[in-house]
Amino acid sequence: MTAAAYYPVVLDLHERRCVVLGNTALAEEKAAGLRASGASVVHLRRGFQPGDLVGAYLAIDASDDPDGQRGARAEADRERVLLNVVDVTPQCDWIAPALVRRGPLQIAISTSGESPFLARALRERIETMIGAEWGPFTTLTGRMRRRLRRAGVSGDAQQHAYRRLLRSRALGMLREGSEAAAAALALTIEQSAHATDRGVPTGEVVLAGAGPGDPDLLTMGTRAVLADADVVFHDALVGPEVLRLCGRRTRLVDAGKRSGRRSAAQAGINDAMIAAARAGELVVRLKGGDPYLFGRGGEEVLALQRAGVPVRVIPGVSAALAAPAAAGIPVTHRGVAASVAFVTGHRAGGDLAAFDDLAKSVDTLVVLMPAELDAIAGRLSAVLGPDRPAAIVSQATTAEQQVVRAPIGSIAAAARAARLEPPSTLVVGDVVNVLSDGGMSRADRQTLAGALAAPG
């Protein structure tokens, strides 16, 4: 059965006669909500009686009286009154949505009567994302709109100004209680809008971390810039689930680098980002994991700064921590591991002497993208001993995640047998088995094994 199609509207009820029926707490709540909207409310604290709805514009029956509700429905049809019978969807002309109110900003959530619980749950989620600062921000935007229209600023220039305000520090200033600073910033953006037809102001580049794969692990900051971005230059390992968070008008550019395959040159990526920003666009460079952890983020920031392009960085959750965590491996654990080091597979296969020293100096070693797993595992086996616990986590945090545990001396063979797909992360150290072994350290396990093997 398909739910009825409802047309969402925002009604002006100022001084219109609205009737509420019922002597219930819900009826009181409905009457209060109508009064807050400026309606002329008649609250009858009883069930329906003939004539109650005559002359009304809108009515709510919250009486819990089935016979009265049927009577109200019949009179509403005769008098052409819009009626809502609470929790009786078939008798409703309209359904009251769950509301998030932030001053002049109102967000309505409706499930077409299918699930009031779900509407409330979504409202509560949105309330945590849309803070109180959005009320004064809406007012600030409204003032800017009226002034720009009076000044005859073109529509395109207005839209550019609104986008700049939304992407600016104004919301943060309002969140911190600095309304004067936010108003001053809005005026600066407004003044620049008058010159937009003569020259487009430079946009901005944001380096944002896409996390390890699961879109739920993106930060709220990254989600916001993806929704607003004009163009997103994304890495090859950024999955379609993450890219679906981009706005409908956002252009997507695959800027990924793939080992052994033709891929985008770094200089070309830099030039394309600079050109887009100089055209006034919000550019997002979306990088797997965290932009500054083996992501060449620093190089890109320097290139953008040299070109005079505004740039900022939003950190991301790195697979260096997320992959072990998703596999149930704490990279540190009291009594087991107090230190951890992160290294790329490229570094591990290059400067072997430095790699050996690093492996011996920490309790847990995490190797990202260990493409030459046989060589890396062989080196670690020689340095740490072939029995050191190890694990490979493939496609961490995604639906395709696989985890293989084995001693470092045989981890490469185990990974091949499991046909693991990249990207993968290698974790080496006693923490690999600490949770599956009940939290015991290697020394504790050896002591227990010795006790069990002792005579008697």
In 3D space, the residue among 56, 245, 410, 177 whose CA is nearest the CA of residue 72 turns out to be: 56
| Cα three-residue angle 268-273-278, rounded to 5 degrees | 125
**Token output for 436:** 């599956």
Please give the helix or strand (H or E) that residue 83 lies within, else none. strand 82-85
Mark 175-201 as b/e (b = at least 16 C-beta within 10 Å): beeebeebbebbeebbeebeebeeeee
Counting other chains too, the contacts that 182-187 makes at CB distance below 8 Å and 24 or more residues apart are 182/136, 182/137, 182/140, 183/140, 186/140, 186/141, 186/143, 186/144
Q: Which of the residues 64, 65, 228, 257 is marked catalytic?
A: 257
| Cα three-residue angle 374-380-382, rounded to 5 degrees | 100
DSSP string, 20-61: EE-SSHHHHHHHHHHHHTT-EEEEESSS--TTTTTT-SEEEE
Using CA atoms, how far apart are residues 229 and 285, in angstroms rounded to an integer? 10
The answer to whether the beta carbons of residues 276 and 200 sit under 8 Å apart is no
HEC profile of 403-446:
EEEEECCCHHHHHHHCCCCCCEEEEECHHHHCCCCCCCCHHHHH
In 3D space, the residue among 376, 371, 347 whose CA is nearest the CA of residue 421 turns out to be: 371
Upper half-sphere CA count for residue 36 (Cβ side, 13 Å): 9
Residue with tokens 């020259």: 199
Please give the helix or strand (H or E) that residue 286 lies within, else none. strand 282-287
Q: Which of the residues 52, 235, 290, 430 is marked catalytic?
A: 235
Q: At what angle do helices 297-306 and 266-278 cross, to 10 degrees?
A: 50
**Token output for 177:** 């209680």
Strand 40-44 and strand 17-21: pairing? parallel
Query: At residue 183, what is the residue type?
Result: A
Residue with tokens 């580049």: 205
**For this structure, is 257 an active site residue?**
yes
Tally of helices (H runs) and strands (E runs) in the chain:
17, 16
Q: At what angle do helices 179-193 and 155-167 cross, to 10 degrees?
A: 150
| Residue numbers annotated as active site | 235, 257
